A and B are shown apart, each in its own frame.
Chain A
């Protein structure tokens, strides 16, 4: 007899296999946030119970991406409903990447780029942009681990040309 309890929708899951051979089972709605996955299964009948390999993504990154997508999927409809929901979503964006090192964010960018997770990519890119905005060139190089390939003369010339663009640059913050 039918109980009054919720009729549980039959859970559709999708399996993804990462580069380190771990298999993740995700709910279909979360997995479909990944553009690459969505395209893979698409409408043309690739059976959903087939496991999709994602060799460019490590389980560490995938865990994090899944975490973001799940939370995001929850907050987005609430944000469309009222102001409080919008505030919550903004707060979520602000806080979510606070603790991560820039290096970690880069790894996540690569993974999210491969999987085509647009919302997460936006947040990641914006976070990095915020971190380098108004910082000195040396700071940015250190952050990304980049060595300058300019000759000293070129560098001097560039500096002179853009001298006034560097007014108001922040003090280099502590090591990231």
Chain B
């Protein structure tokens, strides 16, 4: 069941997920820049230069101290003809340690390896290295390349204990660590710095580090990271709920200033960052959440492209946002994506932003600011007419504001989010969907509903679950919404409790959120969206869910009866094409088949 709160989050990532905080398994598997193709090394043996096909390399350098004493050493070099097959040694007879030559480090990374078990998110070591494969075999046991593939799928604690099995395994794990460029680690509550130091010591080439921390963390962690990872380019610190982040602004500033290569920094729980002055010419991405009462905030990051600042929702936050935004505008002229979530957002802040002349700005998200009005929209629209994403959720903008948006942004805007804006009505939503042709995502959660029904910004209800009281005496009732859009992919109407009729005709729509639309009547629902994959309907009337199901199946059924077909035993399908159709263009028949394949896509209804 989807959580219903509006979680202000940067909508920024092009390829990544949209819940940066609190979710460890959500990153794409390959985070490092150099993504090598999934090739298994070249086809010539790295040592003797012969093609590897059918070749067991007989050439070996003097055995290293590690290798087992009775390792056979072949003398002759064979050409590319396959040598006689080695005797098959069943594994149970293996009684000696796996041994390895001291060759160049073998193994290769595979950043596309499937991760079928979603619980396997504790820790991951990602290896990206495209070197020669060690084809040595024949003494029994797995060659290092195979052992490498197994061990690299283990979490770091598994690697550490794997090193204890025998010397050969230790060597393999050592090389795995050394090759690791990206590490995602869950730091245990006890002896956390010692743990991190131990692990980081093994991977000096680390480029990207992500830590999920279970107990209080302070600057000693930063020092440890600074010491162990000289090549660090990306760092993320996520806090588990019970842990407090005690890092101060000065400590963070010092850390950032000293990291010449740091490109991306993301940190949660920044409640102790009292004031910060970040100076970095390498930093491109900065996400800080849990901020509170900043005395000063200076960003001297001339190359910064993306910034996300999430302030805690407490009322006594006295951050001076105007000065901060002013500084941002002056010192970070290359900003493309801005996300600020704070209840103290106001028109003055917007004016400071528009005065900044950020010519690259494409995504702007200013959420939770109930003092943001239509005048703010006008200011943004006149200064930044090329926005692709605009998020003004939680503001006081009205349908006029939407009209301004539609006047200025039709050629660029693809994502519009206006959740929790009580002054927006169905008219405004229809404006947007009829006048913004490039729209792909629209969030109108909690707009068409009684603003008095629940207070979404109250601190206690951090999830905005509507209490379904029967005294829903709303003056906004019986609202009808008709949306037709050729490109819309994702639509959210969660919490629109005043909606009682809905008609959607969107051929590209994949996902629609109707959670808590509890007044939506089943007989007044029309879903003409053949590509729908997910419908969220938690909190809706039972009969509505039934209506959704039948509407989806109707779409499928009508298409299936186009041509008679039979299913053969092998599972393949043979379509009987009547003779007279053969003369006609087979092209249209092909098109029909394709369309049918699309319709057969099943849609999940989640409730």
Residues of A within 8 A of B (CB): 4-6, 19, 35-36, 39-40, 53, 55-56, 58, 74, 81-84, 90, 93-94, 102-103, 106-107, 109-110, 113, 116, 118, 121-122, 125-126, 128-130, 132-134, 136-137, 140-141, 144-150, 155, 158-159, 161-162, 164-167, 169
B16 located at the interface, meaning its Cβ lies under 8 Å from any Cβ of chain A in the complex: no
B14 located at the interface, meaning its Cβ lies under 8 Å from any Cβ of chain A in the complex: no
Q: What 1/0 flags go to B89-115 for Cβ under 8 Å of A?
A: 011111111100000000000100110
Closest 7 A/B residue pairs (Cβ): A129-B153, A103-B91, A145-B94, A55-B85, A19-B85, A149-B97, A125-B149
Query: Complex formed: what's the CA distance from A156 to B163 in Å?
Result: 13
Min CB–CB distance B449 → chain A (angstroms): 31
Query: Complex formed: what's the CA distance from A150 to B40 in Å?
Result: 33
| B158 contact set on A, CB distance < 8 A | 129, 132-134
**B190-218 interface (Cβ within 8 A of A):** 190-191, 195, 198
Of B164-172, B497-505, B518-526, B535-543, the one with at least 4 CB within 8 A of chain A: B164-172
Min CB–CB distance B164 → chain A (angstroms): 5
A36-B53, A55-B85, A113-B146 are known contacts. Are A107 and B91 too (CB-CB below 8 A)?
A: yes
Contact call B91/A125, Cβ cutoff below 8 A: no
Which of A81, A106, A118 contacts B601 (CB under 8 A)?
Answer: A81
Which of A116, A129, A130 contacts B151 (CB under 8 A)?
Answer: A129
Q: Can you list 10 A-B pairs, Cβ within 8 angstroms, ordered by A? A: A35-B40, A36-B53, A103-B90, A103-B91, A129-B151, A129-B153, A141-B165, A145-B95, A147-B96, A164-B195
Query: Complex formed: what's the CA distance from A35 to B114 in Å?
Result: 18
Contact call A110/B137, Cβ cutoff below 8 A: yes
A74-B571, A162-B161 are known contacts. Are A146 and B94 too (CB-CB below 8 A)?
A: yes
A110-B142, A164-B195 are known contacts. Are A146 and B91 too (CB-CB below 8 A)?
A: no
Contact call A146/B153, Cβ cutoff below 8 A: no
Min CB–CB distance B581 → chain A (angstroms): 12
Told that A40-B53, A147-B95, A165-B157 touch, could you supply 13 new A-B pairs with CB distance under 8 A? Answer: A35-B40, A55-B83, A55-B84, A81-B600, A81-B601, A93-B114, A103-B92, A125-B150, A126-B114, A132-B150, A134-B158, A137-B161, A150-B167
| B191 contact set on A, CB distance < 8 A | 164
Min CB–CB distance A132 → chain B (angstroms): 7
Contact call A110/B146, Cβ cutoff below 8 A: yes
B333 located at the interface, meaning its Cβ lies under 8 Å from any Cβ of chain A in the complex: no
B3 located at the interface, meaning its Cβ lies under 8 Å from any Cβ of chain A in the complex: no
Query: Complex formed: what's the CA distance from A83 to B600 in Å?
Result: 11
Query: Complex formed: what's the CA distance from A53 to B53 in Å?
Result: 11
How many of chain B's residues have a CB under 8 angstroms from any CB in A?
64
| A150 contact set on B, CB distance < 8 A | 164, 166-167
B43 located at the interface, meaning its Cβ lies under 8 Å from any Cβ of chain A in the complex: yes
| A40 contact set on B, CB distance < 8 A | 53
Min CB–CB distance B235 → chain A (angstroms): 23
Query: Complex formed: what's the CA distance from A8 to B585 in Å?
Result: 23
Q: What 1/0 flags go to B128-159 for Cβ under 8 Å of A?
A: 00000000010000110110011101110110
Contact call B150/A128, Cβ cutoff below 8 A: yes
Q: What 1/0 flags go to B72-94 for Cβ under 8 Å of A?
A: 00000000001111101011111
Min CB–CB distance A143 → chain B (angstroms): 10
Min CB–CB distance B607 → chain A (angstroms): 16
Contact call B40/A125, Cβ cutoff below 8 A: no
| A121 contact set on B, CB distance < 8 A | 149
Query: Complex formed: what's the CA distance from A35 to B40 in Å?
Result: 9
| B38 contact set on A, CB distance < 8 A | 118
Min CB–CB distance A18 → chain B (angstroms): 9
| B155 contact set on A, CB distance < 8 A | 133
Min CB–CB distance B186 → chain A (angstroms): 12
Query: Complex formed: what's the CA distance from A172 to B54 in Å?
Result: 40
Most central of A58, A107, A137, A165 by chain B CB within 10 Å: A165
A129-B153, A149-B97 are known contacts. Are A158 and B163 too (CB-CB below 8 A)?
A: yes
A90-B116, A109-B142, A126-B116 are known contacts. Are A147 and B571 too (CB-CB below 8 A)?
A: no
A113-B145, A145-B92 are known contacts. Are A6 and B574 too (CB-CB below 8 A)?
A: yes
B595 located at the interface, meaning its Cβ lies under 8 Å from any Cβ of chain A in the complex: no
Query: Complex formed: what's the CA distance from A161 to B167 in Å?
Result: 16
B188 located at the interface, meaning its Cβ lies under 8 Å from any Cβ of chain A in the complex: yes
B594 located at the interface, meaning its Cβ lies under 8 Å from any Cβ of chain A in the complex: no
A53-B82, A122-B113, A148-B165 are known contacts. Are A6 and B154 too (CB-CB below 8 A)?
A: no
A118-B38, A148-B97, A150-B167 are known contacts. Are A93 and B195 too (CB-CB below 8 A)?
A: no
B602 located at the interface, meaning its Cβ lies under 8 Å from any Cβ of chain A in the complex: yes
Contact call A141/B88, Cβ cutoff below 8 A: no
Contact call B114/A55, Cβ cutoff below 8 A: no
Query: Complex formed: what's the CA distance from A74 to B569 in Å?
Result: 13
B378 located at the interface, meaning its Cβ lies under 8 Å from any Cβ of chain A in the complex: no
B162 located at the interface, meaning its Cβ lies under 8 Å from any Cβ of chain A in the complex: yes
Contact call A82/B571, Cβ cutoff below 8 A: no
Contact call B165/A137, Cβ cutoff below 8 A: yes
| B95 contact set on A, CB distance < 8 A | 145, 147
| A106 contact set on B, CB distance < 8 A | 91, 142
Contact call A58/B88, Cβ cutoff below 8 A: yes
Query: Complex formed: what's the CA distance from A117 to B508 in Å?
Result: 37
A4-B576, A137-B161 are known contacts. Are A125 and B153 too (CB-CB below 8 A)?
A: yes
Contact call A146/B98, Cβ cutoff below 8 A: yes
Query: Complex formed: what's the CA distance from A113 to B108 in Å?
Result: 13
B604 located at the interface, meaning its Cβ lies under 8 Å from any Cβ of chain A in the complex: yes
Contact call B82/A155, Cβ cutoff below 8 A: no
